[in-house]
Structure 1
Amino acid sequence: MKRRQFLGALAAGTAGAAASTVASPAIAQSMPEIKWRMTSSFPKSLDTLYGAGETLVKQVAEMTDGRFQIQHFAAGEIVPGLQAFDATANGTVEMCHSVSYYYVGKDPTFAIAAAVPFGLNARQQTAWLYQNGGNDKFNEFYKKYNIYGFPAGNTGAQMGGFFRKEIKTAADLDGLKMRIGGIAGQVLQKVGVVPQQLAGPDVYPALEKGTIDAAEWVGPYDDEKLGLAKVAPYYYYPGFWEGGPMVHAYINLEKWNQLPKSYQAILQAAGQTATTHMLTRYDALNPSGLRKILASGGQLRPFSNDILDACFKATNELWAEISAKNETFKTMIADMQAFRNEEYFWWQVAEYNYDTYLIRSRTRGG
C-alpha cells in the first residue's frame, strides 16, 4: 500500500472509531434500563393463553438487548386474574395481560374490544382494531381508567360448551343452568338460561353433580384438559358469543407515556407477535384436542338455527337497551356492526366459498 493510501485509510479508521465512540452513549441514553411487572388473568395451565404473554415479554427483552425486562406473573401470584386491570390502573403493576370483557361491570363497552355475541371473527376483529380505527377509539375510552391498551392475543372462534343433555330448540334453554358470564350471560339470560359464575376447577364437579347443566370454556385444546365430556357429553358449536375474542396488553397510562417512543413501538410489535403466536397455536392444537374429546365420549352437536335466531334477536335487543343508556357503547357497537356487515359482503365471496369447497372435498376423501 502506498504511503498516501495508508494514511488515508488510517484517518478513515480513526474517524470511524471516533464516530462509534460518540454514537454509543447516545444509543445507550435512548435505551434506558427498565424493569416492569406484568400480571396475567390466566393460570399457567392455560399454556396458550398464558404463553402468549411469555412470548410478548421475551420479544421485548430480545429487541432491547435485555434493557427492557418485564417479569410475567400468572393469575393469583400478585392479584387474582379478574383484578389484573385494576392492579394496572392503580399502579400496583405496570401492565397486565387480560381480556377486556372481564370488565363489563365497569362499562359494557369493554366487551366490544374483545368479543361480543355475533360479533367479528378473529381476522375481522384484528382488521377493525388496526385498520378501521378501533384501537385508537378504545384508547380514548381507556384514558378515564388510566390505561393504554393494544392487542396481544386471539383464540379464534370458541366452542359453545358441554351440555348434559341435547338442546334442539330455544325452548330447551329455558331454566338451563350454564357456566357462562359477562355480556354473553346477559344475552342467554334473555332466552331463559340461568348464568353461573364458576372458576375452572369447579366446573367438572358442578356438572357431575348436576348443579349446572352446561359449561363453556375455550376450545378443544383447553377444553379436553378438563375432561368435561365424561359428565356432559354433548359438545356444542359454535360459541357465537366469542367469534374472535381479542386478548389485550394493558399498561398504566403514566408508565406508557414515560416510555421512549422506541420502547412503545417495541411493545406494540411484541403484542402483534403474541397475537399471531396464540392464534396459530390454537389453530395447530385444536384438531388433536377435538379428536381426544370425541375419543373420550364427546358428541359434536351444532346449535340449531332456532337457537341461533333466538339468541341473535336477544343480542340485538340487549344492544338497544344498553345503547339507550350508554352513548359510548352505542357508538362503538354501531361501528363494529357496520364493519362486520361490510366484511361479510366480501367474506361470502372468496373466503367462504374457498373454505366450503375444501371442507366438502375433505369429506369426499380429497
Structure 2
Amino acid sequence: MTEKSTINKRDFLRKSILTGAGAVGATALATPYVKAQAPIKWRLQTYAGPALAEHVCKVGVDAFNKAAHGEMEIEMYTADQLVPQGELFRAVQSGTIDAAQSDDDSAAAPVDVKVFGAYFPLASRYSLDVPALWHWHGLKEVWEEAYAEIPGVTWLSTGAWDPCNFGTTKPIKSVADLKGLRVYTFPTGGQFLSKFGVVPVSLPYEDVEPAIQTGELDGVCWCGITEMHTVGWADVLKYFLTNPLSGAWAGSYFVNTEKWKAVPEHLQQLFMMSIDTSHYYRQHWYWAGEAKYRNEGKLELTSIPESDWKQVEDEASKFWDEVAGQSPRSAKVVEIIKKYNQSMIKAGPPYRYA
C-alpha cells in the first residue's frame, strides 16, 4: 500500500462530516415549506343580509384571509344564517360562533351601554362623530369597562355606518305623519319613535321586503338611502325622509374570549387591522352613496320643516336624560355625548351648522 492510498482516521471523519452536511443541506433546500399546524378556522356572523354584507363586512374578512397566508381563515355568515339576530351575542358567548359584527342593541348584548349601539336618537350628525367619540372622547374605555364584566365575550372595536332615515310607502311631511306608521327599526330607536305614534315591528331581516309589499310594514327606519338601494328596499318603497333619526350607526366587532386568547398575537393584530379596513371602507362607501342616491335614486325625497322637527330634537334630549338615569355608566356616556355635541356646535362649520 502506497502512502497516497493510505486514509488516516482524521481525513475520513472530516470528509464524512462535510459530505453528510452537504446532503442534509440539499435535502432541506429541496423540501417544500410545510405548516406545522392546521389553520385556525373561525365562523363570523354579521347583522347584514347578503347584498349589504359585501360592503359592510366581507371587505375586511377577505383582507384578513388573504394576509393571514393560510394560518387562519374566517368564514363569514350573513344575517340570521347561523343564529337569529337577537341571539347573536349569546351565540358568541357560548362559542356557537367565534365572532360577530353587529350593534350591541339588536344583538341583545347584556350590558347597560347597549342602548347606545346602533342609532341612539340624534346623538351624532356625521359618520366621523362615531370614531371621534370612541377614540378621542372616552367611549372606547367605557366599552372596555362594560364588556369586561361580561364573561365569555370580548368587545374589540366600534365603527360608523350610515345615517338612519325613514324609507316609507307613504309621504312624511310633518311629525304628525309619523303617527300609526308600522316600521322596521332597532329596539332603542323604536322605543324613542313610539313617542310620536310610530309602531315598531320586529321581523327577520329577509322578511322585511315582502312585508313592505304586502302592507304589513309601512316602511323602515333602519338605514340611510344607500342601504335602501343596495338591499332592494328602494324597489318597494316610494319615499325617503331627509330628516335623520341619527347621523351614523355605531356597530361593533365581538369575539368569543377563549377563542380570541387562542389566536397568536400577530394574527390578533392582523384581525384588528382588517377591522379598521372595514371601518374605513364603510366611511367612504356610505358617504358617497348617500349623496348619489339622493340625486339619482328611485325614492322621492320629503322633509319635515325645522320648526316642526324641533319637537323631535327636544324629545331626544329628554330621552337621553331618561337613559342616563338607568345606571352611572349610562349617565357617563350621555354626559360625554352632550359635551361632544356642545363642542361641535362651538367649533362651528363644518362640524355643526347653526
Deviates more, 1:97-106 or 1:120-129: 97-106
Matches within 5 A, 1:206-245: 206-224=211-229, 232-241=237-246, 243-245=247-249
Aligned residue in 1 for 2:255:
251
Aligned residue in 2 for 1:10:
none
Matches within 5 A, 1:110-121: 110-120=114-124, 121=126
1:156, 1:244 within 8 Å by CA — same for their partners in 2? yes
Aligned residue in 1 for 2:192:
187
* Cα offsets for 1:337-356 (capped at 9, x unmatched): 2123213322x234567xx9
- RMSD between aligned alpha carbons? 3.1
The separation in 1 between residues aligned to 2:350 and 2:170, in whole angstroms, is 38
* Cα offsets for 1:69-88 (capped at 9, x unmatched): 21212223321233222111
Instruction: Indicate yes or no: 2:163 matched with 1:157.
Output: yes
Q: How many angstroms does 1:141 deviate by?
A: 0.6
Aligned residue in 1 for 2:328:
327
Bigger fraction of residues in helix: 1
Deviates more, 1:125-134 or 1:104-113: 104-113
Q: How many angstroms does 1:320 deviate by?
A: 2.2
Instruction: Indicate yes or no: 2:180 matched with 1:175.
Output: yes
Instruction: Indicate yes or no: 2:83 matched with 1:79.
Output: yes
* Distance change >3 Å, CA 212–CA 37, structure 1 → 2: closer
2:112, 2:329 within 8 Å by CA — same for their partners in 1? no
* Cα offsets for 1:191-231 (capped at 9, x unmatched): 22222223444444544554443422422233135665676
Aligned residue in 2 for 1:57:
61
Q: Which amino acid aligns with 2:41?
A: K
The separation in 1 between residues aligned to 2:88 and 2:188, in whole angstroms, is 19
2:104, 2:115 within 8 Å by CA — same for their partners in 1? yes
2:121 partner SS: coil
* Distance change >3 Å, CA 300–CA 140, structure 1 → 2: same
1:101, 1:113 within 8 Å by CA — same for their partners in 2? yes
* Distance change >3 Å, CA 322–CA 190, structure 1 → 2: same
1:42, 1:81 within 8 Å by CA — same for their partners in 2? no
* Distance change >3 Å, CA 338–CA 103, structure 1 → 2: farther
1:150 partner SS: strand
> Which one of the candidate residues 261, 280, 285 is aligned to 2:284?
280
The separation in 2 between residues aligned to 1:341 and 1:352, in whole angstroms, is 10
* Distance change >3 Å, CA 58–CA 301, structure 1 → 2: same
Q: How many angstroms does 1:126 deviate by?
A: 0.5
Query: Which sections of structure 2, spanning at least 5 residues, go unmatched?
Result: 1-24, 29-34
Aligned residue in 2 for 1:90:
94
1:216 partner SS: strand
The separation in 1 between residues aligned to 2:181 and 2:277, in whole angstroms, is 40
The separation in 1 between residues aligned to 2:236 and 2:59, in whole angstroms, is 35
Aligned residue in 2 for 1:125:
130
Aligned residue in 1 for 2:268:
264
Query: Which sections of structure 1, spanning at least 5 residues, go unmatched?
Result: 1-17, 22-27, 357-366
The separation in 1 between residues aligned to 2:207 and 2:90, in whole angstroms, is 25
The separation in 2 between residues aligned to 1:136 and 1:257, in whole angstroms, is 20
Aligned residue in 1 for 2:341:
340
* Distance change >3 Å, CA 50–CA 80, structure 1 → 2: farther
The separation in 1 between residues aligned to 2:289 and 2:146, in whole angstroms, is 35
The separation in 1 between residues aligned to 2:233 and 2:63, in whole angstroms, is 35
Q: Which amino acid aligns with 1:166?
A: I
Aligned residue in 2 for 1:289:
293
* Cα offsets for 1:276-316 (capped at 9, x unmatched): 1122222334444344534xxx3211232244322222222
The separation in 1 between residues aligned to 2:108 and 2:309, in whole angstroms, is 23
The separation in 1 between residues aligned to 2:225 and 2:83, in whole angstroms, is 28
Instruction: Indicate yes or no: 2:69 matched with 1:68.
Output: no
**Over alpha carbons, which structure has the higher Rg?**
2
Q: TM-score, normalised by structure 2?
A: 0.78
Q: Which amino acid aligns with 1:244?
A: A
Q: TM-score, normalised by structure 1?
A: 0.76
* Distance change >3 Å, CA 108–CA 304, structure 1 → 2: farther
The size of the alignment, in residue pairs, is 320
Q: How many angstroms does 1:270 deviate by?
A: 1.2
2:154, 2:255 within 8 Å by CA — same for their partners in 1? yes
1:101 partner SS: coil
